[in-house]
Amino acid sequence: MSKRCTTWISGVFLLFLLAGCAGLSSLVEVTTPTNLYTLSPKSTFSASLPQLKSQIVVDQPTATAMVDTNQIAVQPTPLQVQYLPEARWVDRAPLIVQALLIESFENSGRVPAVGSSAIGLRADYLVVTDIREFQAFVPQTSEPSALRVDVRLNIKIVDAFSDRIIASKSFEEIVASESDAATDVANAFDEALGDTMRDAVEWSIREIAKNVASQDRPT
């Protein structure tokens, strides 16, 4: 084989090798690990809550596209939406809220059976949730401080027998984050959602007990 041919082949091989390295570098960059965050259910409730015999189904919450994602939303201004870089929820926010509401109802010790419609539970009452706020925001002040987290849930209780809404109420908590670091923001979300769920679960149980008493049927 001639020296020119050998040189040409070596050059082609080097180009392929460099191209492969560039592709590998790009792959490593794309698969840079993202920090995943989860939230916790509420486990402490008022001792004065009534005991129910009714079965409850918690529907999957509705939410706007800004919230219906696994990204952690931040609003630097009231009309602007961004997301924390390299940080995600472990699932879409509505699915997280649904699972935590179900577990929180269970943790109250006042509901005999609670679940989602996916498991085929025969519901006496439905808990229908709309996530109105679920984002961090930058306070609009002359001296902006750390981010604040806003969680607002609108809860409707539906009597499955009559197929009508018996009660509706919104619950909201705003919690300041210690910093704009993802871990601190997630901790603020956990506190805000926990307080909101506690109030929502206690109110829901009381409203169901009140409705059962007015209907004169087993709780």
pLDDT per residue rounded down to tens, the chain (219 residues): 544 444 443 443 333 333 443 443 444 444 456 899 999 999 999 999 999 999 999 999 999 999 999 999 999 999 999 999 999 999 999 999 999 999 999 999 999 999 998 777 789 999 999 999 999 999 887 555 679 999 999 999 999 999 999 999 999 999 999 999 999 999 999 999 999 999 999 999 999 999 999 886 555
Q: Write the CA distances from 180 to 32, 70, 186, integer angstroms.
A: 21, 18, 10
Whether residues 61 and 111 share a domain: the answer is: yes
* Pair 63, 80 in one domain: yes
Rounded to an integer, what distance in angstroms lies between the CA atom of residue 197 and that of residue 203? 10
Q: Cβ(136)–Cβ(188) under 8 Å?
A: yes
Contact of 55 with 114, CB cutoff 8 Å: yes
Give residue 51's Cα distance to chain centre.
Answer: 28
Structural domains of the chain, count = 2
- Say what the pTM is: 0.82
The gap from C-alpha 1 to its chain's centroid, in whole angstroms, comes to: 66
Same domain, yes or no: 210 and 116: yes
CATH of the domain at 175: 3.40.50.10610
Same domain, 27 and 133: no
71 and 2 in one domain?
Answer: no
Please tell me whether residues 40 and 92 are part of one structural domain: yes
Structural domain that includes position 11: 1-32
Q: Is the same domain home to 127 and 141?
A: yes
**Are 45 and 12 contained in the same domain?**
no
> Could you tell me if 73 and 108 lie in one domain?
yes
Is 77 in the same domain as 185? yes
Together in a domain, 97 and 12? no
Same domain assignment for residues 211 and 107: yes
